[in-house]
Structure 1
Amino acid sequence: MTPSPQTSPPPDHAARAHADGLIGFLSDSPTPYHAVRSAAELLEKAGFRQLGETEAWDAAGTGATEGGRGHYVLRGGALIAWYVPEGAGPATPYRIVGAHTDSPNLRVKPVPDTGGSGWRQIAMEIYGGTLLNTWLDRDLGLAGRLSLRDGSARLVNVDRPLLRVPQLAIHLDRQANDGLKLDRQRHMTPVWGLGTPREGDLVRFVAQEAGVPAEEVVGWDLMAHSVEPPAYLGRDEELLAGPRMDNLLSVHAGALALAEAAGADGTGGTGGPRSIPVLAAFDHEENGSQSDTGADGPLLGSVLERSLFARGGGYEDRARAYAGSVCLSSDTGHAVHPNYVERHEPGHRPTPNGGPILKVNVNQRYATDGSGRAVFAAACERAGVPWQTFVSSNDMPCGTTIGPITAARHGISTVDVGVAILSMHSARELCGVDDPLLLTRCMQAFLAD
């Protein structure tokens, strides 16, 4: 039973400290490119080392063939990290935490400078299933990646009020409160100044912000973000509001869990380690995962195979390792909404601070089956954390995750889990303060098995 507001206890110190770290992670990660850098920094503190994809991983000096070493690969907005315990063989299976780094938002078009009627504006394309109205009348910054003439890339983050998508005053739309209808092309173009639009203005501006000559910028991947910082919410501050929880909450938890697994480095007894812990954080989940950095691309399989081959394995070892592997696909799910209770399945109503959720859909929009449920339940039991189950109402379409894609592409047993939130795909989402830590502890137990 949920405690009444009069008796609801404040979050414990460990959960609050973990949430503080998540706030910093969200603030430092306005784009997928920043998110993977933030995750890499957490892993480097635990001794992980970056490997280049063009390096020969079995060459002297890479450390890829040595036990007791952690490595990671960065490609765009994706990160694959793994730790090889001492005594791991080529056929040692993998324990994978999967997540994604992208969130629905507004992204800059190739010809960005536009406007009229005395306004300078930035042309935007809608990315993913964005709740458009949540981007209205909100102070927005601009961040992303600049591609330079020499082939390198530079991250940029203008984390101050720069853009705004102004809503039409109710005096000019008397039916706005009866059903707001936004045209994705005409109504979602933010303003950023007054005057006549000039070609190249935006590129010159962001190049200056990044400290590079504008003439060296030949490409860009830029997106808007809310500059309002994450914050604790509620009388007892047992809730956390912030941007991009879907799904940087899982990326943050996965990076901490992998760092913990590397620090523990248990061998599982005299037979050597039972598994190799992995974090796979993909880009482009919000639009189908079909890219070279998405879950439907070759990146995860390529990295796992190269690690295995560098340790002397072959095709038979790969088949054995994959057959024994398990993936915990972690993405946010829906908490029961107090104002729309009828939209939820009556027997499955996850609540904030009730622990991580097991996500089930028999039509394989989620990859969970009975054996996956057993793996998840065992991890939660070992970690001492409560858990909940989510199923969509039969009259409500179900979303999906990287879980079914990972299972089908690699033949790896997969279970879908996450944290229950409100306002999914909003510019600002809401979760319980306890749940991020509970999810991390579940992941730690899963990776340590």
Structure 2
Amino acid sequence: MEYSNFNDTLLSFLQSSPTPFHATASMRSALVAKGFVELLEEDNWVLDEGGKYFVTRNESSLIAFTTPQLDINQTGWRMIGAHTDSPCLKLKPNAQVDRFGYHQLGVEVYGGVLLHTWLDRDLSIAGRITLKTTDGNIVSRLVDFKDPIAVVPNLAIHLNRTANEGFSVNPQEEILPILCGAENEFDLHELLKAQLKAQYADLSIEKILDFELSLYDTQPAALVGLHKEYICSARLDNLLSCFVGLQALLNPKDDQITARPSLLVCTDHEEIGSLSACGANGPFLEDVLRRITPNPEQYVQAMQRSMLVSADNAHALHPNYAAKHDKNHAPAINKGAVIKVNANQRYATNSETASIYRDIAAEEGYDVQCFVVRSDMACGSTIGPITSGEIGVPTIDIGLPTFGMHSIRELAGSRDAYGLYKVLARFTQRETLMTR
């Protein structure tokens, strides 16, 4: 993919992916368009040499892979990993709240949300609804209201004179979005039924059984800055990496399928620890890999000839908060992807995996930066150490420099994502990783 099209496609992907369910659906559509065949976990798998396949779990996690040859124990995998979820506000099961003349929604905080950034934003609702049809079937459908239908107004400074000195947001009482005034009749299930009927004209609904719905900011993703050098959007952490990994799989260097088996894994629930059936700390990836290489000895051989690039965002040095960084490990936006290192294995990078990545980046002519958190600050983590610990694959943690991580709207470089795509596209074709 050329640079001229890359960011336009990225912006469209971000806009069409307000939830992990929608992100997975967007990636599924892109894979099908490129000739990838969908596998179902409940079916028997028959894989062909030279095949292209993908499988989903929970509609929110996806694994896609190529099999240019099937002796994977001799070749190993070239893996790219990311996660589909982002911090957000999720509707509670009994979400309808009526108080003081307003219809509101009860919400639960998902992940490490920067709560104050959700104030005064034009919010919509998207996610998955499970329902019973009039013919007795239980089915799930994705919905996206798209229009701004909710808002969490701030409190006027006249009523909170110390607001600019710093304030907290109570997630039980102060983050409930307003939908409409109490003079309007409102029933949440009827609203959801109407949205389902608008999106699925042929769907015959007996009743809604349950839902997994999130609020999201309707402001579109955009290129910003005097020279359009920044990407500003919700959910850059970590849909940015999902998109880059997908493009590396779909559009490898020289537009040819790699001579080495390549794999993309994008899992849900990273922001809350990854421990779920479809998370990185669950069995999804290992289940898929063992079905491809069922022989236990060959499976171990394959893992030791493989490498995983765990791609997540990295903290760029913020010019207004420079003291928050170790000055020797302070990445800049649009200066290249970041190798993330932590002595306590919060990141899975080691000297060998870092060296392999540096060598590939040099071949493509892209700079590499390095991030280590200040020694007096706590370090976050990624799917890298989890996946490496689960399946024993050598792993590197990398990320694109970002401002405002976990804000409702984050900022990254418009050149960094394309550079990472070029490096990962070469990685998927890398014949030799290390010489032993």
TM range (shorter): over 0.9
Partner of 2:227: 236
**For 1:123 and 1:445, how far apart are their aligned partners in 2?**
47
Shift of 1:201: 4.5
Give the counterpart letter for 1:334 in structure 2: H
Partner of 2:21: 33
Q: CA 1:104–1:89 in 2, change beyond 3 Å: closer, same or farther?
A: closer
Question: Within 5 A, what are the aligned runs for 1:214-229?
Answer: 215-229=206-220
User: Is 1:303 matched up with 2:288?
Assistant: yes
Instruction: Identify which of 168, 182, 185 aligns with 2:155.
Output: 168
Give the counterpart letter for 1:386 in structure 2: D
After TM superposition, the structure 1 stretch with the greater mean CA deviation from structure 2, 203-212 or 323-332, is 203-212
Partner of 2:77: 94
Q: Which runs of 5+ in 1 are unaligned?
A: 1-12, 59-63, 268-274
Question: Within 5 A, what are the aligned runs for 1:29-428?
Answer: 29-58=17-46, 64=47, 66-75=48-57, 76-86=59-69, 88-89=71-72, 91-149=74-132, 150-195=137-182, 198=187, 200-211=189-200, 212-213=203-204, 215-261=206-252, 263-267=255-259, 275-309=260-294, 314-428=295-409
CA contact (8 A) 1:323 1:411 kept: yes
Shift of 1:95: 1.2
Shift of 1:45: 2.3
Question: Within 5 A, what are the aligned runs for 1:5-24?
Answer: 14-24=2-12
Q: CA 1:117–1:89 in 2, change beyond 3 Å: closer, same or farther?
A: closer
CA contact (8 A) 1:357 1:388 kept: yes
**For 2:281 and 2:223, how far apart are their aligned partners in 1?**
36
RMSD: 1.7
Local SS of the residue matching 1:184? coil
Q: Which runs of 5+ in 2 are unaligned?
A: 431-436
**For 1:206 and 1:180, how far apart are their aligned partners in 2?**
37
**For 1:215 and 1:125, how far apart are their aligned partners in 2?**
28
**For 1:431 and 1:56, how far apart are their aligned partners in 2?**
42
Give the counterpart letter for 2:124 in structure 1: G
Q: CA 1:125–1:266 in 2, change beyond 3 Å: closer, same or farther?
A: closer
**Percent identity of equivalent pairs:** 37
Q: CA 1:112–1:209 in 2, change beyond 3 Å: closer, same or farther?
A: farther
CA contact (8 A) 2:311 2:398 kept: yes
Shift of 1:445: 1.3
TM-score under structure 2 normalisation? 0.93
CA contact (8 A) 1:261 1:277 kept: no
User: How many residue pairs get matched?
Assistant: 420
**For 2:74 and 2:41, how far apart are their aligned partners in 1?**
22
**For 2:72 and 2:331, how far apart are their aligned partners in 1?**
40
Shift of 1:252: 0.4
Q: CA 1:199–1:138 in 2, change beyond 3 Å: closer, same or farther?
A: closer
Shift of 1:146: 1.1
After TM superposition, the structure 1 stretch with the greater mean CA deviation from structure 2, 123-132 or 15-24, is 15-24
Cα shift readout 1:28-71 (whole Å, capped 9, x = no counterpart): 1000011011112222222111101111003xxxxx2x111110
**For 1:45 and 1:203, how far apart are their aligned partners in 2?**
31
**For 1:106 and 1:438, how far apart are their aligned partners in 2?**
32
**For 2:104 and 2:114, how far apart are their aligned partners in 1?**
21
| Aligned structure 1 segments of 4 or more residues deviating by more than 3 angstroms | 13-16, 86-92, 196-216
Shift of 1:92: 3.4
Shift of 1:156: 0.6
After TM superposition, the structure 1 stretch with the greater mean CA deviation from structure 2, 251-260 or 278-287, is 251-260
CA contact (8 A) 1:115 1:197 kept: no
Local SS of the residue matching 1:200? helix
Local SS of the residue matching 2:147? strand
Give the counterpart letter for 2:216 in structure 1: H
TM-score under structure 1 normalisation? 0.90
